[in-house]
Amino acid sequence: MFRWSINRFCAGEEKRVGTRTVFVGHRPVSETDAYVEQKFCDNRIVSSKYTVWNFLPKNLFEQFRRIANFYFLIIFLVQVIVDTPTSPVTSGLPLFFVIIVTAIKQGYEDWLRHRADKEVNKSSVFIVENAKQVKKHSEKIKVGDIVEVKADETFPCDLIFLASSNDDGICYVTTASLDGESNFKTHYAVRDTTGLQTDDDIDSLTATIECEQPQPDLYKFVGRINIYRSNQEPVARSLGPENLLLKGSTLKNTKKIYGVAVYTGMETKMALNYQGKSQKRSAVEKSINAFLVVYLCILVSKATVCTTLKYIWQSNPFNDEPWYNQKTIKERETFKILRMFTDFLSFMVLFNFIIPVSMYVTVEMQKFLGSFFIAWDKEMYDEEIKEGALVNTSDLNEELGQVEYVFTDKTGTLTENSMKFIECCIDGHKYKDGISEVDGFSHTDGPLRYYGKAEKCREELFLRALCLCHTVQIKGGDNVDGLRVNQECWTYISSSPDEIALVKGAKKYGFTFLGHEADYMKVQNQKNEIEKYQLLHVLNFDPVRRRMSVIVKTSTGKFLLFCKGADSSIFPRVQQDEIQQTKVHVERNAMDGYRTLCVAFKELTQEDYKKINDQLSEAKMALQDREEKMARIFDDTEADMHLIGATAVEDRLQEHAAETIEALQTAGMKVWVLTGDKMETAKSTCYASRLFQTNTELLELTTKTMGDSDRKEERLHELLLEYHKKLLQDFPKNSGKLKRSWTVSQEYGLIIDGSTLSLILNPSQDSSSSNYKSIFLQICLKCTSVLCCRMAPLQKAQIVRMVKNTKGNPITLSIGDGANDVSMILEAHVGIGIKGKEGRQAARNSDYAVPKFKHLRKLLLAHGHLYYVRIAHLVQYFFYKNLCFILPQFLYQFFCGFSQQPLYDAAYLTMYNICFTSLPILAYSLLEQHINIETLTSDPRLYMKISDNAMLQWKPFLYWTFLGSFEGLVFFFGVYFLFQNSSLEHNGKVFGNWTFGTIVFTVLVFTVTLKLALDTRFWTWMNHFVIWGSLAFYVFFSFFWGGIIWPFLKQQRMYFVFAHMVTSVSTWLAIVLLIFISLSPEILLVVFKNAKRKNHQVTKRLPSSGTSTIFMLSQTSSNHSFSWNE
């Protein structure tokens, strides 16, 4: 998933062929060999983006890559080069303000990264050199150095584990800073180096390590160590992830360890993983770009119209400038086309404020600051894990309000991933609860009574398999003479909750796992006897094999292989006559919603084991394609086994998971469950979580419905056409907004499994049904819910991509808790990670992380709804207020002979977007609640009112544009009619053009600010402060700029203009009247809505508990006036 971040090392991880050789302690293999120091990167961590020398050019280059910034830079250069009507300051100052603010923000963030880097790089470490410990800074560590790390210290680089204070060569670490997993992980030293527990011993080691080049996967490592001893053949041992201690991990429950550095600095796995992931962009940004194009066209049109009309007007000799004006003579001597072009540029500069440059910085601030409200939400804080919501990407806040498809994992997401052992079956006999001395723990009930009980030896074999076939470790308890006592203090630790449940289940029935001692696993049987088994090999679980095995040697010398895994993985590998009696129980347990695992065993001869051991040893030594070679050996080894039985483990549904899914569906979202579980288990969970209702008709595309393998594709095609025809009858083509209305009488649900999906997405070459995918997609889109079971991680991402790329590009959201969900989380528009029990890979790669699935309800229905409404209002408001600002300037040209005379003073042009109108809309976009959060959460239907980017469609955009045009006309012509008598005072003093422009500007500032006040439904002290404070600041600045407060300004053209203006009663009357006329459409709309609300109160009794939905919706401002009655 982070493949691109290592391109500087190689072309790609899959094609990596390079290896590195590390000399332990920088010692040559033999004394006759000369040691040549190898060149690897040092251990400095550099997470910063800039340096003192490149900050300015690099930051400026990145900022001017944005089209809006580059556009205003061009306008500024035009003002500098061409004789334009406004000063370069008018466009330069807002641009430089945006650039400087952004640069300060990015520079501060980078300074924090520099400070964090310095803290890490200057931390102290101890390196063993010449049998002595040398204290150095972490950044001085080189590849090949032997490092000592003590308890609770963090590993300074990636180390190969050589020895620890424990005689068995084991250490425990936590990797919370890497993947969020807080449980202890066990790492092992190579058995040939476990005895090197002092500085002298470790300094005597002569060895080389061959390993792969750096790559970011935290869970993969391939290498081998060659140990050289005098007068002996060198010994080669394989190295894997269990031998690698990662930078950022912390040593726990171990006094000290020795390790040799293999990856340092920016080549450590932690550094490679923290180089970021691909950026996601929201649909709102696309709307902003579309609106920008429209306003750019308006700008060009205005400039073209004014340029044309200027030359038409000047074609009349009486309208041209007089003969004594030297500029006219000079102009007549230049080319007319050049003059027209420079005039066009001048008009472009004059009207360029219609493009809101400051909107970008406001949007960035709104997203950044707004993300804190999610993290601060106390209702999304989980007491169990002591954590709340986490925002990894603030760019997608508004996208949370536009989700149409939700793709969710099952285990750990809908369910708790807290496993409880329920029952098991052995040789077809059901065992559940209860123990008795007479019959062991056999228990029959219901229809299974006639099964009797299995043989005692088979029962014990099954329980031994549960106690041995796992990777569970024991934490706590006291160790006396090799035996653990005080079992009440034990804690089982494992990366999989299933394994802990099975070990606890075996303990309940008399077989207790006592932990590891060197290479042995200890088990206490029903007779309280201690049994020891030598652990020879662990064939680890992986999502492809869907099983795990162990090979052990008994005290009598027998070699046994125990295997557990999914039924689909185990059944093909056991004797076929043993399957049926167990299969009945597995299917019944799955129908009850339990997670099932099958258990098998195989006895190996001495020759069989020797062959397997030789093959595994050879494969483990391979540096290239090790995993593929191991997989082939595992496949051959886990064959011809004997089925013992199966287990059933319950994974309870998470609290409020069903209510959350119901709310999401009511909100118009389609919920798909993508899981690796078997169909029956997943289907039961879907009914329990209300994804499927009792009246939902299920359409199945599974291996079971495909039937005979010879004609699978034909049967698939028949089913696809049958389902398609059925759905088309119930969903006629003319049904408009089907996806947002669940008004149809019959609901359909689709169930598909991984193998059938492979047939659909990857049909055979000779298949005539190339339209499988399109028919399947149409079926999916017409179903209210979909269950995809037996899904591989890659298939989950394929499903998300398929829906994401359909017509209309619906907004998709993926939510999961495990590493197998990362691919679909990264693929969806919005990725949500659950901080679950399967590690934090999902949360680490997500855009947002929440503790529980139930928190998705508030995240989407409340936060998502509000963020979308806020930012949509912000965008529309910015375009509206800038249109109000520039339209009077455009109209003024018709009354000044198109001479490019500015209507507003340069200070007002500059300060309008920066100071006078910026803070109120920022506060609104952070704090507004047009509908209170409780109503939004309790009534999911409100979410549909803003779906499909409703507030940034062309209809509301045209409304805002009309409103801006209307108010611009009122501003200009209202003041124009006031100036029909230019003497506005009783003393006959005449007001000039700067007074005219200042009156227009005053009406403008008050109107657009009061418009926002009218739109505000949720008032806080912050709203009051910024709205009334902005108006007060405008008045204060006008007096200041007019020379009243600061007399040195008296030489400029605005001297005493504002002060004289406010002394006129006519001006006061005009300002108040024009503000009222401008806002009258909004006021009338509010009055009309209130009257409508009162009418509804009479005709329909409102809920007594509080404010009704209709009431809340009726208060929305005109730009987002969505009510149930529309």
Question: Which segment of 54-68, 261-275, 556-570, 1086-1100 scores lowest on mean pLDDT?
Answer: 1086-1100
* Phi, psi of 1022, rounded to the nearest 5 degrees: -65, -40
- Measured between alpha carbons, how far is 1031 from 919 in angstroms, rounded to an integer? 11
* H or E stretch at 410: none
Split at pLDDT 50, 70, 90, the class of 1047 is low
Using CB atoms within 10 Å of the CB of residue 715, give its burial: 0 to 12 exposed, 13 to 18 middle, 19+ buried: middle
**Cβ atoms of residues 642 and 579 within 8 Å:** no
Residue 405's closest CA among 808, 933, 834? 808
Q: Is the dihedral of CA 846, 848, 854, 858 positive or negative?
A: negative
Residues 6+ apart with CB under 8 A from 431: 423, 424, 425, 441, 442, 443, 459, 509
Alpha-carbon distances, residue 720 vs 705, 766, 769, 915 (angstroms):
12, 18, 11, 61
Question: What is the rounded average pLDDT of the residues 607-620?
Answer: 84
Return the pLDDT at 1114. Answer: 33
Split at pLDDT 50, 70, 90, the class of 1097 is low
Split at pLDDT 50, 70, 90, the class of 6 is very low
Question: What is the rounded average pLDDT of the residues 181-199?
Answer: 78
Helix (H, G, I), strand (E, B) or coil at 11: coil
**Cβ atoms of residues 920 and 1026 within 8 Å:** yes
- Measured between alpha carbons, how far is 379 from 1074 in angstroms, rounded to an integer? 46
Residue type at position 383? E
Return the pLDDT at 325. Answer: 55
- To the nearest whole number, what is the mean pLDDT of the chain? 78
Q: Which of 409, 651, 677, 817 is catalytic?
A: 409
CB neighbour burial string for 960-992, b if at least 16 within 10 angstroms, e if fewer: bbebbebbbebbbebbeebbeeeebeeeeeebe
Residue 866's closest CA among 933, 949, 810, 957? 933
Question: What is the rounded average pLDDT of the residues 713-722?
Answer: 81
Residue type at position 113? R
Return the pLDDT at 275. Answer: 47
- Measured between alpha carbons, how far is 1014 from 1076 in angstroms, rounded to an integer? 12
Split at pLDDT 50, 70, 90, the class of 322 is low
Return the pLDDT at 1053. Answer: 66
Question: What is the rounded average pLDDT of the residues 816-820?
Answer: 75
Q: Has residue 436 got a pLDDT over 80?
A: no
- Measured between alpha carbons, how far is 1026 from 964 in angstroms, rounded to an integer? 22
The model's pLDDT over 483-496, given as tens digits with 9 standing for 90+, comes to 444 555 577 777 67
Residue carrying the six token digits 């549960």: 466
**Cβ atoms of residues 845 and 797 within 8 Å:** no
Return the pLDDT at 1101. Answer: 47
Q: Is the dihedral of CA 97, 98, 101, 102 positive or negative?
A: negative
Task: Give the residues across from 114 on adjacent strands.
Answer: none
Return the pLDDT at 1046. Answer: 57
Split at pLDDT 50, 70, 90, the class of 476 is low
Encoded tokens for 660: 């959350």
> Higher confidence at residue 1060 or residue 369?
369
Question: What is the rounded average pLDDT of the residues 580-588?
Answer: 86
> Higher confidence at residue 418 or residue 437?
418
Residue carrying the six token digits 């009488």: 745
Strand 405-408 versus strand 812-816 pairing type: parallel
Task: Give the residues across from 553 on adjacent strands.
Answer: 534, 559
Alpha helices by DSSP H, 813-860: 822-827, 841-845, 855-858
Split at pLDDT 50, 70, 90, the class of 34 is low
Return the pLDDT at 159. Answer: 93
Return the pLDDT at 1061. Answer: 76
Alpha-carbon distances, residue 750 vs 409, 672, 719, 722, 792 (angstroms):
16, 9, 12, 13, 18
Task: Give the residues across from 748 on adjacent strands.
Answer: 697
Helix (H, G, I), strand (E, B) or coil at 1121: coil
E strands, 866-1018, are none
Split at pLDDT 50, 70, 90, the class of 1025 is very high
> Higher confidence at residue 1087 or residue 622?
1087
Helix (H, G, I), strand (E, B) or coil at 986: coil
Residues 6+ apart with CB under 8 A from 495: 181, 183, 185, 471, 838, 839
C-alpha triplet 800, 288, 376: angle, nearest 5°: 65
User: At how many degrees (to 10) do helices 754-761 and 772-782 cross?
Assistant: 130
Residues 6+ apart with CB under 8 A from 887: 964, 965, 968, 969, 971, 972
Encoded tokens for 1025: 């402060």
DSSP 670: E
Q: Has residue 1006 got a pLDDT over 90?
A: yes
Residues 6+ apart with CB under 8 A from 28: 34, 35
Q: Has residue 15 got a pLDDT over 80?
A: no
Return the pLDDT at 866. Answer: 92
* H or E stretch at 530: strand 530-539
Encoded tokens for 353: 């404020």
Q: Has residue 407 got a pLDDT over 50?
A: yes
Return the pLDDT at 35. Answer: 55
Question: What is the rounded average pLDDT of the residues 557-561?
Answer: 88
Active site residue 203: no
Split at pLDDT 50, 70, 90, the class of 1110 is very low
Question: What is the rounded average pLDDT of the residues 229-256?
Answer: 84
Encoded tokens for 356: 């809101």
**Cβ atoms of residues 808 and 823 within 8 Å:** no
Alpha-carbon distances, residue 757 vs 123, 754, 762, 788, 790 (angstroms):
52, 5, 8, 9, 10
Split at pLDDT 50, 70, 90, the class of 746 is low
Return the pLDDT at 32. Answer: 56
DSSP 1103: P
Q: Has residue 865 got a pLDDT over 80?
A: yes
- Measured between alpha carbons, how far is 980 from 115 in angstroms, rounded to an integer? 65
**Residue 121 burial (CB count, 10 A):** 18
Give the global pTM: 0.71
The model's pLDDT over 122-160, given as tens digits with 9 standing for 90+, comes to 889 999 888 788 889 988 899 989 999 998 888 999 999
Question: What is the rounded average pLDDT of the residues 750-762?
Answer: 81
> Higher confidence at residue 990 or residue 515?
515
Task: Give the residues across from 116 on adjacent strands.
Answer: none
Q: Has residue 627 got a pLDDT over 50?
A: yes
Question: What is the rounded average pLDDT of the residues 159-184?
Answer: 75
- Measured between alpha carbons, how far is 401 from 949 in angstroms, rounded to an integer? 9
* Phi, psi of 1087, rounded to the nearest 5 degrees: -60, -45
The model's pLDDT over 642-664, given as tens digits with 9 standing for 90+, comes to 899 999 888 777 888 888 888 99
Question: What is the rounded average pLDDT of the residues 1005-1032?
Answer: 91
Split at pLDDT 50, 70, 90, the class of 982 is low
> Higher confidence at residue 271 or residue 1114?
271
Question: What is the rounded average pLDDT of the residues 547-560?
Answer: 87
> Higher confidence at residue 282 or residue 892?
892
Return the pLDDT at 600. Answer: 92
- Measured between alpha carbons, how far is 630 from 620 in angstroms, rounded to an integer? 7
Residue carrying the six token digits 């045009």: 965
Return the pLDDT at 2. Answer: 35
Alpha helices by DSSP H, 82-160: 88-121
Encoded tokens for 523: 């088990």
DSSP letter string, 555-603? TTS-EEEEEEE-HHHHGGGB-GGGHHHHHHHHHHHHHTT-EEEEEEEEE
Task: Give the residues across from 520 on adjacent strands.
Answer: 517, 534
Query: In degrees to the nearest 10, what's the CA dihedral of 113, 114, 115, 118?
Result: 120
Encoded tokens for 568: 């689909």
- Measured between alpha carbons, how far is 156 from 138 in angstroms, rounded to an integer? 6
Q: Has residue 260 got a pLDDT over 90?
A: yes
The model's pLDDT over 923-956, given as tens digits with 9 standing for 90+, comes to 999 998 888 888 888 888 888 888 888 888 888 8
Residues 6+ apart with CB under 8 A from 997: 892, 902, 903, 904, 905, 908
Encoded tokens for 409: 């994992």
Alpha helices by DSSP H, 912-953: 918-927, 933-938
Task: Give the residues across from 147 on adjacent strands.
Answer: 127, 259
Return the pLDDT at 905. Answer: 83
**Cβ atoms of residues 943 and 401 within 8 Å:** yes
Using CB atoms within 10 Å of the CB of residue 228, give its burial: 0 to 12 exposed, 13 to 18 middle, 19+ buried: middle
Split at pLDDT 50, 70, 90, the class of 9 is very low
Alpha helices by DSSP H, 602-688: 606-621, 626-637, 657-666, 679-688
Split at pLDDT 50, 70, 90, the class of 1050 is low
Alpha-carbon distances, residue 772 vs 716, 728, 764, 779, 801 (angstroms):
9, 16, 11, 11, 16
Return the pLDDT at 990. Answer: 60
